[in-house]
Amino acid sequence: MLLQDYQPRPDALAERVILVTGAGAGLGRTAALAFAQHGATVILLGRTTSKLEKVYDEIEAAGGPQAAIYPMNLEGASIKDFEDLAERLEETFGRLDGVLHNAVLLGGLTPLEIYDIERWYKILQVNLNAPFMLTQACLPLLKKSGDASLVFTISNQVKQPKAYWGAYGVSKWALQGLMHTWAEELENNTNVRVNSINPGQALTGLRRQVYPGQAAGDAPEPEALMHAYVYLMSLDSREMNGQTIDCSPDESVSPTAS
């Protein structure tokens, strides 16, 4: 079956505890809602509490399992902050069944020749260092799951690096490398699998920042990609490790769902 034809069961994520970073807006918000809709208890991590509260309320209004909010600005977060998070999750849930590394800082398109070094550090901190530290801190919790799914969000820059995308583009390349490294290191003797997803295009705040003239219909709404996100978090993708689901419209080969 092609992934585009995959239709998750309504309870595909029942009993699963999933952490989503950048859950207050865009693809992270939509994924959190979709995970809850399919039965998951979702931990909403992001930097703007009011946005997280809104998503929490939406999940509640839709009758999903009660979510949890964890405000955190990844820009200034240290390994201690991630260890504290893991400790809180251990106390509350006892395990983690999934992490969607989704939060992102774009920082605008700029030639490398004049790229501001402070901005470079900030972007690599949010997009690359934070997912590494969060994964490391949460690994003991993920190992307590019967099947834990770690998902890193990459972008088209991994397929084709482009001028002016600066630290954002470089962070996505590095994230893909990080995904493969974790996947190989964890493939034996753990129930933790590690994959990435390239949303390709989705009409979100990030996309409007890059293409301000873009209107509805010029790119898919985030909801159109959610079957792939739910698939990766569900047991249906249990055999996947070290792979990438590419949702970009120019992708000629659709991944196969088992």
Ligand X SMILES: NC(=O)c1ccc[n+]([C@@H]2O[C@H](COP(=O)([O-])OP(=O)(O)OC[C@H]3O[C@@H](n4cnc5c(N)ncnc54)[C@H](OP(=O)(O)O)[C@@H]3O)[C@@H](O)[C@H]2O)c1
What type of residue is 66? Q
Q: Which is nearer to ligand X, 54 or 143 (CB)?
A: 54
Q: Which is nearer to ligand X, 22 or 98 (CB)?
A: 22
Query: Of 168, 211, 229, 231, which one is the catalytic site residue?
Result: 168
Q: Which residues pair with 197 in a beta bridge?
A: 153, 245
Q: Give min distance, CB of 188 to ligand X, in A.
A: 29
Q: What is the rounded distance in angstroms from the CA atom of residue 15 to the CA atom of residue 135? A: 21
Q: Give min distance, CB of 27 to ligand X, in A.
A: 4
Residue nearest to ligand X (CB): 26
Active site residue 168: yes
Q: Give min distance, CB of 46 to ligand X, in A.
A: 5
Q: Which is nearer to ligand X, 94 or 205 (CB)?
A: 205
Judged by the rule CB under 6 A, the positions of this chain that interact with ligand X are: 22, 24-28, 46-48, 51, 73-75, 102-105, 126, 153, 155, 199, 201-202, 204-207
Residues serving a catalytic function are 168
